[in-house]
Amino acid sequence: MNTAIDRFRLDRQRPLRDQIYGLIRGLILSGDIEPGEVIDEKQIAAKLAISRTPVREAVKKLSDEHLVDVVAQSGTRASKIDRREVEQAFLIRRALEMETASQAAPRMNDAHTDALSDILMLHARAIEQKKTVIAIQTDDAFHRYIAEISDLPRLWRAIEISKAQLDRCRHIMLPRSGEGEATLEQHRQIIRSLNSKDAERARIAMAQHLEKAYDNTVKAMNSGEIKV
């Protein structure tokens, strides 16, 4: 964590709280801040040469997302991965993304197809190069773009917040052999379903994709690969 914070450069023209929130959140999701690890607000503020107020505000926001635990007299720690939180994240994400896929299908055009295909190529390259963080970012870009096609862009923000616990699991699981390739094939199926302009077919393709990913997550939790 210290190295990432040392390299981080604040943009003084933007709200500090939002930048620090994004920094710490990214480190938690990627596993650079491990479950149970102490998050020292005073140290972070000192390294970034800022007051503790924006750090405290960022931590409060992360606490609302159940990514950190703030305990009086015990300090702040990255929350442990909780099976029930992961399940709830999946249920929320599936419901919202089935809707974005359903709404996007009738709106699909050639430009949308080309954009999704371009994202898929970037995703495939990141997986081939074993760049886990970039692979997950391009995976998110694929799903976010579908929300934009659906003309429900605000829905993506709700999805992004709700899926945080799933993202922590994704960073652990993606390096597994075949995991990324399976996701790419499921994304191809989603593109085909969207191109059919059949809302129900798109809903089903999205649901199947997310359910397969969740089933693999449950297996990883049961086997101890993901510690809960």
Domain match, 164 and 200 both? yes
- State both tokens at 139: 């995976």
Residues 101 and 197 both lie in one domain: yes
Angle at 34 between CA 29 and CA 36, to 5 degrees: 115
Are 30 and 49 found together in one domain?
yes
Task: Give the DSSP letter of residue 198.
Answer: -
- What was the pLDDT predicted at 187? 98
User: Among residues 46, 63, 78, which one ends one of the domains?
Assistant: 78
Specify burial of residue 195 (Cβ count, 10 A radius: 0-12, 13-18, 19+): middle
Section 15-24 average pLDDT: 95
Least confident of 69-78, 136-145, 151-160, 189-198: 69-78
User: Is 228 inside any structural domain?
Assistant: no
The rounded distance, in Å, linking the Cα atoms of 209 and 190 is 8
Which of the four pLDDT bands, split at 50, 70 and 90, describes residue 2? Answer: low
CA distance 23 to 19: 6
Is 136 found in the same domain as 219? yes
Judged by DSSP in three states, 106 sits in: helix
Question: What proportion of the chain, given as a percentage, has pLDDT over 90?
Answer: 83
* Residue 169 shares a structural domain with residue 92: yes
Report the pLDDT averaged over residues 116-131.
96
| pLDDT score for 112 | 98
Q: Identify whether the C-beta of residue 210 lies closer than 8 Å to the C-beta of residue 97.
A: yes
Structural domain including 200 reads 83-223
Residue linked to tokens 């994004």: 22
Question: Of the candidates 78, 110, 126, which is a domain's last residue?
Answer: 78
Pick from 78, 109, 132: which residue ends a domain? 78
Domain count, the chain: 2
Q: What is the pLDDT of residues 84-123, one digit of tens each?
A: 999 999 999 999 999 999 999 999 999 999 999 999 999 9
pLDDT tens column, 33-79: 999 999 999 999 999 999 999 999 999 999 999 999 988 777 899 99
pLDDT at position 1 over 70: no
Residue 165: per-residue pLDDT: 92
pLDDT (0 to 100) of residue 72: 78
Confidence of residue 206 (pLDDT cuts 50, 70, 90): very high
